[in-house]
Structure 1
């Protein structure tokens, strides 16, 4: 159904725009502040709808509190917090390209946690993607990689993506029998708790006319609307077909950053991005023995 195909495209567009918003708002609010406000907005919106359901399902939720705490730490605090920090030191275009590296990291985290041995396509594709990633970070010259201080934002974003891979693998490992919206709500609650020490220690910037639109966008669209669109798409298209649309994120992000943030799209972005996507496509290819079930 054509409308089902539109759902993941719209979700990826929302997430891509959020990367640009993250880069844009660096001059107006600190990483801790926008991260805390983002999840507070999402929590306030969800509470009237979800609190009665959480109370009814409290015994089920209590059984998985530890798992919710871990998911929140990796998927919302570490990933998003590092991404907001990385935005101060790198471009939205680079962030979008590095974000496409999640499937490759997921392969190796799955090997570590789920004991899933990757096939030869996954290994070769991962190396190809990693080569493309280094090419982008080095801005087309591998000798530039020696200057680590100049790539601090890119390295933070790589670390953020690495942590998000843990989030996806833990979801697969545990397969919690909890309604998705309840799961999201509880994780957001843990995220706010995790932020409190940082808020007390570093302080928090006030919301003003310069950052309010960015805060509201981050709290509503990438936090609530996009995940819902993605979940519905998975139901109609299946997880494998839906995940393919994630490869649009570097493209969408680059286009938005070019027209809104006036970031340059260079030759090394094109070459590195293409190499990364080729590697990801190869890494997700199944060997004949896997297809035949032997």
Structure 2
């Protein structure tokens, strides 16, 4: 019994590690914005991850080539949504907004996922999901407006936040498509093939815009991005899902705004303001409410109303 308890508590550290890695990556994304272009760091990041994984995964790709060929188009879509659009837009957003804002907006993924699931998977959200989503959206608008609703009319002044919202929206599509298709491909193999597609998707932008050189100012950031958030965090997160289950693991994503803000405050000297507190609390309350499940009886009544 003691061994099982230790195993459970050890498993709880896994999603914490992943969240800390991703939170630090958001801060690094903001820091490195002054030293390297979005296209360059995004390409270098996935190319480095590809090089690291190739010796291990290339024989498996050849062995499973028939399976990959059958699902290549789905893997390409997942790569485009989760690796190219999400991360590319986030790197661009970092030029115009703070790491703190990026971390808070990133917590909005579950809310977008609810409504995309409704459109693609035809999953009808319960009343908690609807109310929580509306509440989170109000908090998001308050955050973007910096507490001044009138300033929302000036979208140019909030361009970075808008880009981050679009990035998060793309990542929500990634999660929904991943759930919809449920590909019977080993996760590490799936990750490797998606990274390969990400590199190919970057090539037109690399040809058109060129690549910034890796130098002393950006080397450590590129190295971190290519190893920790690209490889270690996903693997640790998948281990957490195996030990704790997807629902218990996903709850840890809600602390990302807090950990990102703490890192940004200490490292980037970003201020935590009143509108961060109010907007962040409203968003997190809405997300918590949106994830609340109906009791079996209430769920049955809702199903009857849908049928009627």
Question: What TM-score comes out, normalization by structure 2 length?
Answer: 0.94
Which one is further off, 278-287 or 151-160?
A: 278-287
Aligned to 1:193: 200
Alignment partner of 1:246 is 2:253: yes
Q: How many residues align?
A: 294
Q: Does 1:61 align with 2:68?
A: yes
1:78-157 paired onto structure 2 within 5 Å: 78-157=85-164
- Specify every segment of 5 or more residues in structure 1 that has no aligned partner in the other structure, as ranges: none
Q: Which runs of 5+ in 2 are unaligned?
A: 1-7, 304-308
Please name the residue that 2:174 is paired with: 167
> How far did 1:288 drift?
2.2
State the distance in 2 between where 1:290 and 1:24 align.
50
| 1:264 lines up with 2:271 in the alignment | yes
In structure 2, the partner of 1:29 is 36
Q: CA deviation at 1:290?
A: 6.9
In structure 1, the residue corresponding to 2:197 is in which secondary structure?
A: helix
2:81 corresponds in structure 1 to 74
Cα separation, 2, equivalents of 1:54 and 1:2: 35
Q: Which residue is 1:184 aligned to?
A: 191
What residue number does 2:56 align with? 49
| C-alpha distance in 2 between matches for 1:25 and 1:291 | 49
User: How far apart are 1:291 and its partner, in Å?
Assistant: 7.2
Distance in 1 of aligned mates of 2:93 and 2:38: 9
Q: TM-score, normalised by structure 1?
A: 0.99
Select the residue among 220, 224, 228 that pairs with 2:231. 224
Which consecutive aligned stretches of 4+ in structure 1 deviate over 2 angstroms post-superposition? Answer: 288-294
The one-character-per-residue Cα deviations of 1:14-55 (angstroms, maximum 9, x if unpaired) are 000000000000111000000000000000000000000111
Q: Give SS of 1:139's match.
A: coil
Match of 2:3 in 1: none
- Could you tell me how far apart the structure 1 residues matched to 2:252 and 2:126 are? 23
Q: 1:105 to 1:292 in 2, by over 3 A?
A: closer
- CA apart distance, 1:119: 1.0
- Counterpart of 2:306 in structure 1 is none
